């Protein structure tokens, strides 16, 4: 077969005859591919290292493994008849996505920067719709981050090797998917994760009430009631947050809604924890069990989705039956992707890797976020809103250091950072034992040499952040407004839901 025309899909193996036996010949186009035999009985981990070496050395190549390759050889000091060696081989080809293959000398379009608008669309579903309209891979579309499903969102994206005309044509196909694209500009670069400076929010608050505590009550806790929220009270709360900031908790979009497993089902950090343990059978089961509620206001999944999940459980992981039971269209895109991977690879780890890396990384980040939220709570409970010995702070030059006795007065709570756990971070001296106990209880360990689906580098995150460009407007001139228009900017990775929680001086569930 002509391997240069083989679809660009990793670990696809070699075409087989209908008899089910391997094709004994490989008609390789030596100008577009190379076949490198491995030593016999090489482990899968060692083969993976070879793939990574090629990928790091040249992004214009793609690789796959030929699992049943044979060749003849003789020992250097042996003149006897050749030996037949059965082994595996590394197949290296030009990447079609890099424009190489047969037409690699053809001039390509530049990348196109554009704005994506979506409404009530989950990130992966939106990317799949966009990739289909552009006739490209999901990996050809780059974003700086993931936007919330429960909002109307705008974000910058780049599309690899697509012209503005391609983008305009694709936009005509997206009108029925609650997705729009526009503001096309050709560029010679691609966006990378975390490359945005921050986010601008416009939020409308309606049906405003506030909690009033009965001063005459002797009960503990004292009785509470809801009363209309007046303009002065709300303006005062906004001013306080603008002046003092708020705790930089990760929101429920990242870690999931509060509640027990029986109440809310699987949350993102559950899947991330299984991945970090290398238990991909469990990770897939958790993905298929799914959530019982999708966010804090209690919206449940549709009966059609719940039925597909029941089929998975009751059929004892029957992939074919579950795929048949899934709703049509782009619903359950992650679940469909991993089940199709199971059908192809018969291996949970490889099947899980068919999900885009950014989505897999989201689940690991969710577990890191759970740890961070817990440590931030412990930090404030133990030491309050002041800088103490053992804290980690970020200096003006961006470096992170442990606070020394002489430096305490130089820093404020806005200077304090806490690490997201990983193999490349140091834990603060005053919280190190708490971090280690948390990870030990979950039997999670971050190792530098582990596969990317089972580890994380870690990072440092500010404990307290302040919004900028804050605006508040009250339509109509009443003491008790029916709605409020709130606007503000947050730095990258900070959550508007955490600001709103502080604004309402409320628990997550309230």
The mean pLDDT of 34-61, rounded to a whole number, is: 78
Report the distance separating Cα 310 and Cα 86, nearest Å.
44
278 compared with 509, residue with greater pLDDT? 278
CA 488, 207, 153, 358 dihedral sign is positive
- Count of C-beta atoms within a 10 Å radius of residue 101: 19
Q: What is the pLDDT of residue 286?
A: 95
The percentage of the chain sitting over the pLDDT mark of 90, rounded to a whole number, equals 43
Q: What is the pLDDT of residue 396?
A: 86
The mean pLDDT of 131-155, rounded to a whole number, is: 88
The mean pLDDT of 142-147, rounded to a whole number, is: 87
- Separate counts of helices (H) and strands (E) for the chain: 15, 18
Q: Where are the alpha helices (DSSP H) in 58-96?
A: none
148 compared with 320, residue with greater pLDDT? 320
Give yes or no for residue 105 having a pLDDT over 70: no
223 compared with 322, residue with greater pLDDT? 322
Q: Which of 420, 408, 469 is nearest to 198 (CA)?
A: 469
Give yes or no for residue 341 having a pLDDT over 70: yes
Q: What is the pLDDT of residue 76?
A: 56
Quote the Cα angle for 490-191-358, to 5°.
80
The mean pLDDT of 30-56, rounded to a whole number, is: 78
Highest mean pLDDT among 28-42, 315-329, 436-450: 436-450
The 3-state DSSP class for residue 404 equals coil
Q: What is the pLDDT of residue 278?
A: 95
Give yes or no for residue 100 having a pLDDT over 50: no
Report the distance separating Cα 415 and Cα 400, nearest Å.
10
Q: What is the pLDDT of residue 15?
A: 33
Give yes or no for residue 72 having a pLDDT over 50: yes
Single pTM value for the model: 0.73
Q: What is the pLDDT of residue 399?
A: 92
Report the distance separating Cα 440 and Cα 433, nearest Å.
10
Sorted by sequence, the CB contacts under 8 Å of residue 430 that are 6+ apart come out as 379, 382, 383, 388, 389, 390, 391
Q: What is the pLDDT of residue 9?
A: 30
- Which phi and psi angles does 478 have, rounded to 5°? -130, 155
The bridge status of strand 483-491 relative to strand 468-473 is antiparallel
Q: What is the pLDDT of residue 125?
A: 84
Contact yes or no for 334/359 (Cβ under 8 A): yes
Report the distance separating Cα 420 and Cα 102, nearest Å.
45
89 compared with 7, residue with greater pLDDT? 89
Q: What is the pLDDT of residue 6?
A: 28
Give yes or no for residue 490 having a pLDDT over 90: yes
Q: What is the pLDDT of residue 280?
A: 96
Q: How far is CA 502 from CA 141, 413, 505, in A?
A: 35, 17, 5
The mean pLDDT of 281-289, rounded to a whole number, is: 95
Taking each helix axis from N to C end, the angle separating 303-314 and 280-289, rounded to the nearest 10 degrees, works out to: 140
Q: What is the pLDDT of residue 22?
A: 38
| Average pLDDT of the chain to the nearest whole number | 82
Dump pLDDT digits (tens) for 171-227. 888 866 688 999 999 998 888 887 888 899 999 998 888 877 777 777 776 677 888
Report the distance separating Cα 353 and Cα 452, nearest Å.
10
385 compared with 96, residue with greater pLDDT? 385
Give yes or no for residue 356 having a pLDDT over 60: yes
Report the distance separating Cα 456 and Cα 446, nearest Å.
6
CA 156, 158, 163, 168 dihedral sign is negative
**What's the token pair of residue 214?**
């009965």
Dump pLDDT digits (tens) for 403-450. 988 889 899 999 999 999 999 999 999 999 999 999 999 999 999 999
Quote the Cα angle for 217-220-226, to 5°.
60
Dump pLDDT digits (tens) for 449-485. 999 899 999 999 999 999 999 999 988 777 888 889 9
**What's the token pair of residue 22?**
């391997």
Q: What is the pLDDT of residue 43?
A: 80
Taking each helix axis from N to C end, the angle separating 268-276 and 280-289, rounded to the nearest 10 degrees, works out to: 170
**What's the token pair of residue 257?**
């809604």
Q: What is the pLDDT of residue 27?
A: 47
Q: What is the pLDDT of residue 226?
A: 82
The mean pLDDT of 4-28, rounded to a whole number, is: 36
Report the distance separating Cα 137 and Cα 125, nearest Å.
13
Dump pLDDT digits (tens) for 237-274. 999 999 999 999 998 888 888 787 888 889 999 999 99
Given its phi and psi angles, is residue 52 left (phi above 0), alpha (psi -120 to 50 degrees) or beta?
alpha
DSSP string of 265-315, one letter each residue: B--HHHHHHHHHTT-HHHHHHHHHH-BS-SSTT-PPPPHHHHHHHHHHHHT
Give yes or no for residue 35 having a pLDDT over 60: yes
């Amino acid at each position: 077969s002509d391997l240069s025309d083989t679809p660009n899909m990793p670990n696809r193996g070699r075409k087989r005859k209908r008899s089910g036996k391997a094709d004994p010949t490989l008609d390789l186009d030596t100008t577009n591919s190379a076949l490198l035999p491995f030593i016999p009985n090489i482990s899968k981990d060692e083969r993976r290292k070879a793939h990574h070496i090629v990928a790091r050395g040249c992004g214009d190549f793609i690789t796959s493994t030929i699992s049943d390759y044979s060749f003849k050889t003789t020992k250097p000091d042996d003149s006897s008849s050749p030996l037949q060696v059965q082994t595996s081989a590394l197949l290296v080809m030009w990447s079609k996505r890099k424009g190489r293959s047969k037409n690699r000398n053809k001039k390509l379009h530049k990348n196109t920067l554009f704005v994506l608008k979506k409404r009530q669309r989950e990130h992966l579903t939106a990317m799949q719709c966009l990739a289909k309209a552009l006739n490209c891979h999901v990996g050809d579309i780059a974003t700086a981050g993931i936007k919330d499903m429960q909002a109307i969102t705008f974000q910058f994206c780049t599309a690899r090797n697509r012209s503005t005309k391609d983008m305009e044509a694709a936009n005509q196909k997206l009108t029925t998917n609650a997705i729009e694209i526009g503001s096309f500009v050709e560029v010679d670069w691609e966006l990378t994760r975390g490359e945005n400076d921050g986010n601008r929010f416009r939020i409308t608050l309606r049906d405003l009430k506030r909690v009033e505590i009965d001063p005459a009550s002797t009960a503990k806790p004292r009785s509470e009631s809801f009363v209309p929220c007046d303009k002065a009270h709300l303006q005062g709360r906004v001013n306080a947050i603008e002046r003092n900031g708020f705790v930089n908790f990760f929101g429920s979009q990242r870690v999931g809604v509060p509640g027990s497993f029986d109440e809310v089902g699987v949350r993102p950090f559950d899947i991330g924890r299984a991945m970090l343990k290398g238990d991909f059978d469990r990770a897939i089961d958790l993905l298929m069990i799914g959530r019982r509620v999708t966010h804090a206001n209690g919206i449940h999944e549709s009966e059609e989705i719940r039925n597909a999940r029941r089929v998975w459980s009751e059929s004892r992981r029957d992939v074919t039956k579950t795929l048949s039971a899934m709703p049509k269209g782009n619903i359950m895109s992650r679940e469909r992707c991993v089940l199709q991977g199971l059908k192809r690879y018969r291996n949970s780890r490889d099947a899980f890797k068919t999900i885009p890396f950014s989505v897999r990384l989201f689940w690991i980040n969710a577990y890191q976020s759970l740890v961070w939220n817990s440590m931030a709570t412990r930090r404030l409970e133990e030491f309050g809103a002041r800088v103490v010995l053992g804290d980690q702070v970020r200096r003006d030059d961006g470096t992170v250091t442990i606070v020394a006795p002489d430096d305490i007065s130089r820093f404020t709570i806005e200077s304090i950072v806490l690490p997201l756990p990983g193999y490349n971070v140091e834990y603060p001296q005053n919280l190190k034992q708490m971090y280690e106990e948390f990870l030990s209880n979950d039997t999670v360990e971050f190792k530098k040499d582990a596969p990317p689906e089972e580890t994380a580098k870690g990072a440092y995150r500010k404990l307290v952040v302040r919004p900028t460009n804050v605006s508040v407007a009250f339509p109509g001139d009443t003491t008790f407004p029916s709605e409020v228009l709130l606007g503000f900017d947050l730095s990258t990775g900070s959550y508007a839901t955490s600001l709103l929680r502080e604004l309402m001086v409320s628990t997550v569930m309230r």
